[in-house]
Every structure is written in C-alpha cells, then in structure tokens.
Amino acid sequence: MRRAGQLAASLCVLAFVVALYGCGGHGGQVGGSVGTAGKPQPPPPTVEYSVVSLGSGSPGDMNDLGQIVGYRPATDSTPAQALLWEDNGAATLTPTVLPQPAGAAFASANSITNAGTPGSALIAGFVSYPNPENPGRPNHAAVVWQWDGYASPPQWVVTELPLPAQGGYTEAEARGVNTSGEVSGWVRRPVSDVTVEPCPAVWRRTVSGWDLPELLDTPGTGSRINEGGLVLVDIGSLHDCVWNSRAGGTTQLQNAEAALAISDLGGVSGVAQFTSKRKSFFGAALWSTPSASPTSLGALSGYEYSQANDLDDQGPEHRRAVGWCLHQAPNQPDANVAFRWQESEGMKDLNTLVPSGTAWIHNAYAINARGCITCSSYGGPCLLRPLQPTP
C-alpha cells in the first residue's frame, strides 16, 4: 500500500528500537507485511508501529499485559473456537485455543482481565449448543475461563455461569469481566417467547463458585464492566445507559447511539448523535463520565461516519480512542479505514502510521495502556505494536 522503496530504509532504522519493546513488556521485532495487492496508497507514513500478524481469527478485547481474546470462525472440520493470543515480542503470534464444554458448537472469548497471575486471570465469553427445536438459533451459555496455574500442567479451565433460579431464563452470554470477579452480560428466556427481551445481568465470584446473577429490571443487554462495577447497558438507539451494579441505579448516556467501551475512570467510547447547522449526524464520541455530554471525535477527511470501539482513558491529558470511519463513497476499496484518536492531536489514519507494504487496515478494535492496538486488515487480523510504548 505504500511505496516499496521506503520499506528497507525504514526497517533498518527502526529494527533496533523495536527489538526493545513489546505490548506485554517483552522484547519485540518489526512484524512483516500482512499483504498489499491492489489496495490504495495512503500518503508517505511517519512510522509509529510495527505490524504483528495474528494469523487467523477475529481479535476483540486486549488487556495491558498484551493478552488478546477473540474467536476463530468454524470450518468444515472444526467448530468455532475461543482464542487467546499473548504478545511475546514475536513478529507472528500463534493463538491458544481455549477449552470448551463437550457438545458446544461455538465458542467466543469476549473480555479479559489485567490480572495474569495463577488463580487471578479471568476471561468471559459464551458457548453455544445446537438447538433441535430451532437449528438456526443455537442456545447460548455464559462461561468464564480461569487460569489454573497449580494444575499439572497449568491450563485454562472453562466454567458455565448459572442462570437465575426463577423467571424461566434459558440462555446467557458474558460480555465483560473485571479483576474483582464480576462478570457482565445478559440472560434471556426461550427465543420462542418473542415478547421477552434479554435482561442485563452481573455474576459475582465467591469462595465457593459463582452466585446467581443480579438482574437489572429493564430490557437490554449488559456489555463491558469496569473495575468499579459500572456496566454498559444497550437498551436501544439513544437509550444506552451505565448501570452501577454495586450501588444500584442507572445513568442514561446523553445522545448515545451505541456505547461500546468503558474505562476504569468511567469514560465511555462509542457513537453519539450530534447536530451541526441544523443537521443531525452520528459519529465517534467520548463521554468523560456517564453524566457528561458526548465529545465528537470527528471523522477523517473524505469519510462521513465514524465509530469509537475502545478507549485508553488515563485522565483528561491522556485519553486515546480507536475505531473506524466509513467513506462517503462506500464502493471504494478503502471504504472503511481504522483510526487512532488522541486528545493532543485528534484523529489519524492508522495506515499512515505503519511501514509501507502493510495491508490496508480497515478496523481497530482495542487499545491498551501501552498503546498497542488490535486491528483487522485486508491481510488478516493484526496487532500494532508501538515503537515507543507508553511508559
């Protein structure tokens, strides 16, 4: 995608620097090209990242240790699998396939805590089982994976989370998890009961296992949870809110079309509705607190829609977000483009910050405190590892 003649010179200058750093605190090296054929050429880059291939799969959440969770779609011979990548500084990261219960036809890991020590790390997600009564609608079960460092050999262990004892709920999904052992998600009655929507839920770990979930008395789905027990709740367009699962009560997010991530400081990223010159539009937004008005992050030149998938929020002077923009002409080969937004410099096209020869990066999913970013590109999923990580 960039001029090939720049690649050798850039890599020679940067190779020593990149070898010192990794997203999880390991040594690193410049990741190879992920593929380029026929993709648009952005302006000459100021290289800030090396590109690390994640092989196959779909990355999602990432913690500050450089651990990434996601899933791999099903093939003719294997079911969809929950995955864990760990940044060890290599140019290509090979994922670990997380275990799933017998009979499960699909598994996805949605969120991971920062605690990586034995007995502490938790991954939240779901598995699905075939539904004979409705083959096109499998039954979901919320699960957590916990690292058992004392097993021989050490391994990840999967546990299904309990359903409410009353109410006739039959399905659940876990979307978020924190280091206190709180898991956010939703529960649902049988899909045949079309009058009932999912209900936001929080499970808590105890010394004897997992409590029955606490439910929020409103239709919707719980997604991310922060270290303070604040849960993002998707209720519908312009109705998303933050649920304080410990103290009780909710705070509606102003003009929120989609609330996608929440920081430990209470900042939220997503999409909001804005008005300019008496015209309404939707775009990437940050809320500094659940009760604050949204701040528009704008969009890249030539693009009309933007979405902030995740944020690294360490206070007003150090706030970053990542996501994607949609081109004004959607049939263009660069119809989607990944961006990084920083408080100090606004929004930048991530394709201008990586070595020439890198495949077009069209979405950015997550960013951690070291500045690492998980992305998808025309060459496959990748991790952008900063050449100068945030201390």
What amino acid is encoded at 378 in this protein?
Answer: Y
Name the stretches of the chain with pLDDT < 50. Answer: 1-21, 25-37
In the chain, what percentage of residues exceed pLDDT 90? Answer: 66
CB 187 within 8 A of CB 199: yes
For residue 208, count other CB atoms closer than 10 A to its CB.
6
Task: Find the helix or strand (DSSP H, E) in which 216 lies.
Answer: none
Distance of alpha carbon 326 from alpha carbon 205, whole angstroms: 41
pLDDT in tens, 346-383: 999 999 999 999 999 999 999 999 999 999 999 999 99
Both tokens assigned to 116: 């990586």
- Is the Cβ–Cβ distance between 179 and 227 less than 8 Å? yes
CA atoms of 56 and 174, how far apart (whole Å): 23
CA atoms within a 13 Å half-sphere pointing along the CA-CB vector of 116: 14
pLDDT for 7: 35
Q: Has domain 52-348+357-362 been given CATH number 3.30.2410? A: no
For position 20, what pLDDT does the model report?
38
CB atoms closer than 10 angstroms to residue 238: 14
Residue 214, strand partner residues: 202
DSSP string covering 141-192? EEEEEEEETTSSS-EEEEEEPPPPSSS---EEEEEEE-TTSEEEEEEE--TT
pTM to 2 decimals? Answer: 0.86
Q: Which residue blocks in 58-127 are alpha helix, DSSP H?
A: none
Give the pLDDT confidence score for residue 161 in this predicted structure: 97
Q: What is the pLDDT of residue 132?
A: 72
pLDDT at 54: 97
Query: What CA–CA distance (Å, rounded) separates 109 from 365?
Result: 14
